[in-house]
Amino acid sequence: MSLTSMPTSLGAMPFSNSSELSPSFLLAGPPGLEGAHSWLPAALCAAYALAVLANGAVLLAVRAEPGLHAPMYLFLCMLAAIDLALASATVPRTLCLYWLGSRRIGFGACLTQMFLIHALSAAESTVLLAMAADRYVAICHPLRHAAVLDGRATAKVGLLALARGVLFFLPLPLLLLPLPFCGPRRLSHSFCLHQDVMNLACANTTPSVVYGLTAILLVMGLDAVLICLSYLLILRAVLRLAAWRERLKVFGTCVAHICVVLAFYVPLIGLSVVHRFGKDLAPLVHIIMGNVYILVPAVLNPIIYGVRSKQIQRTILSLIRITDRAPR
């Protein structure tokens, strides 16, 4: 073997995670960041700051106003908390990549981030399903709404959402843990996703592929089907109303939730399509789609409900006035 061929051969060798003290991956950053793509970290930072402020305002408003302690607003608080956790698990590390050039992420940190992304996404999908059920009961069975969805039932939904995300997606990092990986171990996103990490393995990934697909179908896929079913039942009940004005008024209570569902599922489907069919796309497309998937729901959800809910607007404005009047 010649000396010139040794680095290439060594670089192509797989490693086992138990045989290397600190195995790591390289996060993706757009090439020429200092030039044409220098806008990306600034936009990412601005979107993250907006998400933190908007979701924080919703959490404070619902906590401060007893009139907002209804199931719909409590579910909105759960969405806000999940979105904050999901964005905080990814965006600060991505900004370190862009601003400090820190591309390397340890194997354990990568698996932890991957688990948080998938588990929190599953929890958000569960809460969206619960919100669809809330709209269905409120419209189709209004007399039973207060009894079915009381404070205790709402709290159980939050616990179920977290437990569902953990139980379904904890096996993903555990299945990847014993696998050997091939160099140079470059990811296609600025954070760790299961499909991305799994594609770098040098061993048989069939169990991981099968389980990952099954978990996605049983959580996000099933939730999407049930949400569509609930809105078909709502639409049937609305069309039974005699007056068009009454129909629009009743269905108008669902507009905010429909927009939030689209803000979650459209980026999720787009990211899946890019992973499946976008192998020949520019790396920047993968990076932008990944950040859209993380940040679009976190930014849009509080804005959508803030625009639709006058009560949230009034509470936030009153909190701002109280803060301005506080002695400094």
Say if residue 297 is preceded by a cis peptide, omega within 30 of 0.
no
Q: Give the C-alpha separation, 79 to 86, whole Å.
A: 10
Quote the strand ranges of the chain, DSSP E.
14-15, 24-26, 104-106, 181-182
Q: Give the C-alpha separation, 42 to 290, whole Å.
A: 16
Cβ within 8 Å of residue 117, ≥6 positions away: 86, 89, 90, 191, 192, 193, 294
**What confidence score (pLDDT) does residue 101 get?**
78
**What confidence score (pLDDT) does residue 96 get?**
87
**What confidence score (pLDDT) does residue 303 get?**
92
**What confidence score (pLDDT) does residue 188 get?**
86
**What confidence score (pLDDT) does residue 10 get?**
37
Which residue in the block uniquely carries the two structure tokens 């189709």? Answer: 140
- Contact indicator for 84, 291 with CB cutoff of 8 Å: no
**What confidence score (pLDDT) does residue 52 get?**
95
- Contact indicator for 219, 172 with CB cutoff of 8 Å: no
Cα four-point dihedral sign 235, 237, 242, 243: negative
HEC states along the chain?
CCHHHHHHHHHHCEECCCCCCCCEEECCCCCCCCCCCCHHHHHHHHHHHHHHHHHHHHHHHHHHCHHHCCHHHHHHHHHHHHHHHHHHHHHHHHHHHHHHCCCEEEHHHHHHHHHHHHHHHHHHHHHHHHHHHHHHHHHHCHHHHHHHCCHHHHHHHHHHHHHHHHHHHCHHHHHHCCCCEECCCECCCCCCCHHHHHCCECCCCHHHHHHHHHHHHHHHHHHHHHHHHHHHHHHHHHHCCCCHHHHHHHHHCCHHHHHHHHHHHHHHHHHHHHHHHCCCCCHHHHHHHHHHHHHHHHHHHHHHHHHHCHHHHHHHHHHHHHHHHCCC
Q: Give the C-alpha separation, 21 to 14, whole Å.
A: 14
- Distances in whole angstroms, Cα of residue 81 to Cα of each of 301, 302, 305: 11, 11, 15
**What confidence score (pLDDT) does residue 156 get?**
94
Q: Give the C-alpha separation, 302 to 20, whole Å.
A: 44
**What confidence score (pLDDT) does residue 30 get?**
61
- Tens of pLDDT along the chain (328 residues) come to 444 443 433 344 444 454 444 578 888 876 555 554 567 788 899 999 999 999 999 999 999 888 888 899 999 999 999 999 999 999 999 888 888 878 889 999 999 999 999 999 999 999 999 999 999 999 998 888 888 888 889 999 999 999 999 999 999 999 999 888 877 788 888 899 998 899 888 888 899 999 999 999 999 999 999 999 999 999 998 888 878 888 888 888 899 999 999 999 999 999 988 888 877 787 788 888 889 999 999 999 999 988 888 888 888 888 887 766 655 5
**What confidence score (pLDDT) does residue 8 get?**
38
